[in-house]
């Protein structure tokens, strides 16, 4: 079975002609299903862009949310909107549970969150997330760089909670998929392993790792793969905009997808 996987498409950053060409190429690819790995657009326009893609590619779409999809909004209300989104347009993955792609292969997913557990959060790279996602700027009581730097422990706690919540939400679906299928595809946004945190051909440094990895998700995924050694697990992630592959264990492979603002692209993934 042939899938198209696109991560970090940032559709509102490209011209409409480029977005039209992106959709036309997916339509021409012959892929049966489209996976969107987060950073699709922003909080105020994500539904519009999901409809834009859906009307043009005319096939099933499954997606996870990336950090940019919450920009200008708050986490709970964006997720609530995805829970009630018209499913003929696109299906948000935690809501979809375990998706049976074929009799052999299941799809599960959650966007994850950079949970500030890898790298050095005493001197972190300051992501825009900390200023333009309401929950995060409220956690430091400010929304400006000084407030963030003065309240790093509070921000780190909040990011840790979001990482834990991502792992806990995905856990039951992941375990069910591991039990029932030979192959499990996990769609996420934030790389769940340090080894998957590719940026410009190398692993991100200690300043970027806190925002670029979801350790809670990685531990959960690694444990499941260990408990089901006969099931092949492939994790598809993005967020760093750098590409690479990392084999985490005998049956657990992570693929990080390349991305460029203004130039949405996709690749084909074949499953059983
Ligand atoms: Fe992105
Ligand atoms: Fe991202």
Q: How far is the CA of 182 from the centre of ligand 1 (A)?
A: 31
* Cα distances (Å, whole numbers) of residue 80 to 53, 112, 123, 260: 21, 16, 33, 29
CATH code of the domain containing 58 = 3.60.21.10
Q: How far is the CA of 21 from the centre of ligand 2 (A)?
A: 23
Residue 164's DSSP bridge partners are none
Q: How far is the CA of 245 from the centre of ligand 1 (A)?
A: 18
Residues with Cβ < 8 Å from 179, sequence gap 6 or more? Answer: 228
> How high is the pLDDT of residue 236?
98
Distance CA 121, CA 119 (A): 6
* Cα distances (Å, whole numbers) of residue 177 to 61, 98, 108, 187, 237: 19, 6, 8, 13, 18
Strands 2-6 and 267-270: antiparallel
Q: How far is the CA of 104 from the centre of ligand 1 (A)?
A: 31
List, in sequence order, the alpha helices (H) in the chain.
Answer: 16-29, 46-57, 75-83, 93-96, 129-132, 134-139, 145-150, 152-180, 209-212, 215-227
Q: How far is the CA of 9 from the centre of ligand 2 (A)?
A: 10
Nearest ligand to the CA of 66 is: 2
Q: How far is the CA of 41 from the centre of ligand 1 (A)?
A: 9
* Structural domain of 42: 2-270
Q: pLDDT (tens digit, 0 to 9) for every residue of the chain, 272 residues total? A: 999 999 999 999 999 999 999 999 999 999 999 999 999 999 999 999 999 999 999 999 999 999 999 999 999 999 999 999 998 889 999 999 999 999 999 999 999 999 999 999 999 999 999 999 999 999 999 778 999 999 999 999 999 999 999 999 999 999 999 999 999 999 999 999 999 999 888 998 999 999 999 999 999 999 999 999 999 999 999 999 999 999 999 999 999 999 999 999 999 999 99
Cβ-based neighbour number of residue 2 at 10 Å: 12
Nearest ligand to the CA of 241 is: 1
Q: What is the DSSP letter of 207?
A: T
Q: How far is the CA of 58 from the centre of ligand 2 (A)?
A: 26
pTM: 0.97
Encoded tokens for 30? 């012959």
Strands 99-100 and 105-109: antiparallel
Nearest ligand to the CA of 260 is: 1
How many domains is the chain partitioned into structurally? 1
Encoded tokens for 171? 């856990």
Nearest ligand to the CA of 258 is: 1
Nearest ligand to the CA of 112 is: 2
Q: How far is the CA of 113 from the centre of ligand 2 (A)?
A: 9
Q: How far is the CA of 166 from the centre of ligand 1 (A)?
A: 18
């Amino acid at each position: 079975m042939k899938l198209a996987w696109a991560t970090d498409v940032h559709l509102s950053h490209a011209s409409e002609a480029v977005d039209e060409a992106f959709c036309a190429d997916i339509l021409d690819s012959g892929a049966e299903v489209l996976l969107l790995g987060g950073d699709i657009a922003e909080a105020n326009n994500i539904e519009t862009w999901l409809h834009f893609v859906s009307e043009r590619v005319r096939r099933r779409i499954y997606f996870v949310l990336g950090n940019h999809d919450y920009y200008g909004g708050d986490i709970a209300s964006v997720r609530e909107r995805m829970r009630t989104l018209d499913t003929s347009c696109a299906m948000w993955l935690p809501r979809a549970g375990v998706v049976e792609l074929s009799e052999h292969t299941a799809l599960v997913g959650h966007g994850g969150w950079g949970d500030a557990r890898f790298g050095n959060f005493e001197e972190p790279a300051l992501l825009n997330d900390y200023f333009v996602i309401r929950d995060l700027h409220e956690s430091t009581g400010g929304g400006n760089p000084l407030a963030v730097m003065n309240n790093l422990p509070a921000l780190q706690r909040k990011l840790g909670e979001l990482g834990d919540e991502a792992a806990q939400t995905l856990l039951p679906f992941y375990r069910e998929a591991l039990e029932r299928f030979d192959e499990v595809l996990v769609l996420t946004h934030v790389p769940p392993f340090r080894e998957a945190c590719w940026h410009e051909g190398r692993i991100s440094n200690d300043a970027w790792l806190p925002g670029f990895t979801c350790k809670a998700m990685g531990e959960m995924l690694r444990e499941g793969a260990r408990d089901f050694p006969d099931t092949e697990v492939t994790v598809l992630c993005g967020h760093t905009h750098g590409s690479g592959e990392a084999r985490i264990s005998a049956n657990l492979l992570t693929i990080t997808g390349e991305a460029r603002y203004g130039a949405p692209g996709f690749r084909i993934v074949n499953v059983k």
